[in-house]
Chain A
Amino acid sequence: MNIVVCVKAVLGSTEVKMDPKTHTIIRDGGEAVINPFDAVALEVALRIKDERRSAGEACTVTVLSMGIPVTEKLLRDCIARGADAGLLLSDRAFAGADTLATTYALSCGIARLGVPDLVLCGKMAVDGDTAQIGPELAGALGIPCAVGVTGLPAVTDGTVTVRRESDAGVATVDVPLPAVLTVAKDVAELRMASIAGILAAEDAEISVLSAEAAGADAARIGLAGSPTQVVRSFVPEGDARGVEITGDAAAQAEQVVEVMRGMAL
């Protein structure tokens, strides 16, 4: 069984802060990390691999990312934790991609890896928060998809059974393989690397492909291949200049009650 896990490098979440006075994003000292949702997806893949292998089956886990060259280090870390191989799509031409262009680039990478049985993604990235890559990738690959998987998937004979989020509650579904699953938080914590894993990962080969080497159509990647454009970013009005409620606790409570009355709750 071949599993591909799509991972994205994001800035260490603890380092992303907003300066309360200037309303600018403070990113100093931010270390790139694997998007936490993708880290969970990797753990899910590794659990499936452990299970398959203990059942005597072959199973490989490949991590795939589109990112800047230093992302290779994160892929190596994934290998240290138990992934078998890594593929990095890295090219200035990929820069500025929206979800559609990213999906296309990832699908080119997957095409290079051969047909996987399972593609796992985090449900969303903590910086973009779009939650679109998984379902778009399923569409691009023409395979079915389950989003927001909340429990460890059970793989049996060409089908994966998962519990997933739905508007009505937690749904249990059978998805025929190959399929894309996007993984919610709290399914499992990514295991830590061992010394043995880290030393092995040091020597592992990570393929780094340019857009051309990945066989990507230049018109469909990066800024050029992105239908959406950010035209403006701004600080929302009003909120920052909130009304200050002063006095001792009793006086403050009195005023808060007044405010709530005004809302006619």
Chain B
Amino acid sequence: MQMIRPWASEYDEYRRDESRSTGEAESISFPTCEDELRSILSELDPATPITVQGARTGLAGGAVPHGGHVVSLVRMNAYKGLRQAADGAFFLRVGPGVVLSELRRHLHAKSLPAHGWDDASRAALEALYAGPEQFFPTDPTETSACLGGMAACNASGARSYRYGPMRPHVSGLRVVLPNGETLALRRGDVCAQGRALELATEQGTTMRVDLPTYVMPRAKNASGYFIADDMDAVDLFIGSDGTLGIITELELALMPAPRVTWGVNCFFEDEGHALDFVVRARPALDCASAFEYFDGAALDILRTTREDGAAFASLPEVPDAYRACVFVELECDGETQAMEALRELGSLLEEVGGSERDTWVARTDVDRERQRLFRHAVPECVNILIDRRRRVTPSITKLGSDMSVPDERLHDVVDLYRRTLAEAGLESAAWGHIGNNHLHVNILPRDEADFAAGKDLFRAWACEVTAMGGAVSAEHGVGKIKRDFLLTMYGEAHVDEMARLKAAFDPTGRLNRGNLFDEARLDAAVGEPDGIEEAAR
């Protein structure tokens, strides 16, 4: 069967992702295993650009095609094996097309598809099922994301406050390079010496690359390559927006699921109280796994939509006096500890001018589901609002920011947002991962002038946030739509270093063109490949 299929209208959905931007391509393939992928690479003309896709849930356009060929990895969705380390930890090998919600379901229901597994994996599986429930902690809002895509953009979610992004939970990768050679990387096996990294492909080629020289911010960050002295080679590929190679297998580090998970919505009459609460609660609440924020405008939109439609009618009513909400998730070993945490949380609230009464505590599945609906309803309601406005002004879209700052700058960055939004006279709603000082400020343009003003504001914020030591993209990645912010954050010289690093792995610059760098910058880097020395076999 012909694996490379010429483009046809039935593939049109593969022209776009959740960023709502679209691209073009001439052909598409759906390999089911690494060998198929490699033969596709060898069949394609070496000059053909390749865009790699997973579930296309990304918000930065990373999976939007840029001419040439599209490789969709959705069918590389096998569960390949399991091992248990000496310390009892479990590591699950999966294909990049495995969908997060499916993984969660299988782990919870103890129903991992284990056909074809070897005896060692089967023995590990028995041990997995016999012990306490295990889970994979990375929790992006969109659970239809696939693991390969999540690794490519170093996804995070609400619980990244406790567990960090995807990165630390990936213990190994298999990667196919644009030339068809393969890397098998296990965390701890290959590390850089300072900023020099030496890698050997399974085919025997040794590569030496110089890593860029920048220092990453001390904030949640998904902007450009992860670079650090003596870094692990695995980390270079995680969060690389698919620019260095194609991930064909991941080994995921599983963790014991928390015994007790309680969610608490804390409401405040004043945004300042909410921020004070977060600042005080972070060091005080050891078992907090997430701090999420919803501002007054977001609550207003929720109230309006709740009255309008049946879909959100089951949401609890949010009294008008509430002008800010912080959702705290507590993960505890038992109910005694959870109750302690609840008491602590209560006194923190009273200290900052909140009240133990103005809270919703979810201790049952039904209540947790209502809280989940509440959190998901906010962005949903904003989308509904924007869709209505687009009927009048089709050219506008929602403008959502994704910037983070270090802990001590939380009040400063919110002040910045409030002051500049007011000056520009723009309507907005903000929510997001306040535990990581990472808010999605959404500008809700009423017309094209608002839309343009919003874009200007985002550019200004990128400068200010960088000055605060923050990151321009904290979780969505840079993809194709935040390249300018990357320049603002790191400057031309460092971005050129990144482009040269890419050229070392992808000498013709064909893989995921348009991600991280514009074409001119990439082609310039490809022309002067000084970052690599290819040793003889």
**A residues neighboring B (CB under 8 Å):** 12, 14, 31, 33, 36, 39, 77, 80, 189, 191-199, 202
Contact = CB atoms under 8 A, between A and B. Distances in A.
Interface string B356-375: 11111111111100100000
A192 B366 CA distance: 10
B346 interface: yes
Where chain A touches its partner, the secondary structure class is helix
B316 A192 contact: yes
A36 B367 CA distance: 12
Contact of A193 (B314, B346, B363, B365): B363
Given A14-B365, A195-B349, A195-B361, A189 B314 contact: yes
A191 B342 contact: no
B342 A199 contact: yes
Interface in B343-396: 343, 345-346, 349, 355-367, 370
B264 interface: yes
A202 B362 contact: no
Number of contact residues on B: which range applies? 20 to 34
B44 interface: no
Contact of A195 (B316, B356, B365, B370): B356
Contacts of A36: 366
What 10 pairs across the A-B complex have the smallest Cβ distances? A196-B356, A192-B360, A195-B356, A195-B346, A196-B357, A194-B359, A195-B359, A193-B361, A194-B357, A192-B367
A197 B40 CA distance: 62
B345 A195 contact: yes
Nearest to A74: B364
A106 to B, nearest CB: 23
Contacts of B343: 199
Contact of B346 (A77, A80, A189, A199): A199
B358 A191 contact: no
Contacts of A199: 342-343, 346, 356
A231 B51 CA distance: 64
Nearest to B266: A195
A191 B366 CA distance: 11
Contacts of A194: 356-361
B362 A12 contact: no
A78 B364 CA distance: 12
Contacts of A80: 361
B370 A192 contact: yes
B114 interface: no
B339 interface: yes
Interface in B302-340: 314, 316, 339
A205 to B, nearest CB: 18
B359 A12 contact: no
A185 to B, nearest CB: 11
Given A198-B342, A199-B346, A191 B316 contact: yes
A197 B355 CA distance: 12
A202 B346 CA distance: 14
Nearest to A193: B361
27 contacts: A12-B364, A12-B365, A31-B364, A31-B365, A33-B364, A33-B365, A33-B366, A39-B366, A77-B363, A77-B364, A80-B361, A191-B316, A192-B367, A193-B360, A193-B363, A194-B358, A194-B359, A195-B346, A195-B357, A195-B359, A196-B359, A197-B357, A197-B361, A198-B361, A198-B363, A199-B343, A199-B346
A77 B346 CA distance: 18
A256 B118 CA distance: 43
A198 to B, nearest CB: 6
Nearest to B355: A196
A33 B363 CA distance: 10
B369 to A, nearest CB: 8
B264, B314, B361 pick with most chain A CB within 10 angstroms: B361
A47 to B, nearest CB: 12
A198 B343 CA distance: 10
Nearest to B335: A73
Contacts of B346: 195-196, 199
Given A12-B365, A194-B356, 19 more contacts: A12-B364, A33-B366, A39-B366, A77-B363, A189-B316, A189-B370, A192-B316, A193-B360, A193-B361, A195-B349, A195-B359, A195-B361, A196-B355, A196-B356, A198-B339, A198-B361, A199-B343, A199-B356, A202-B339
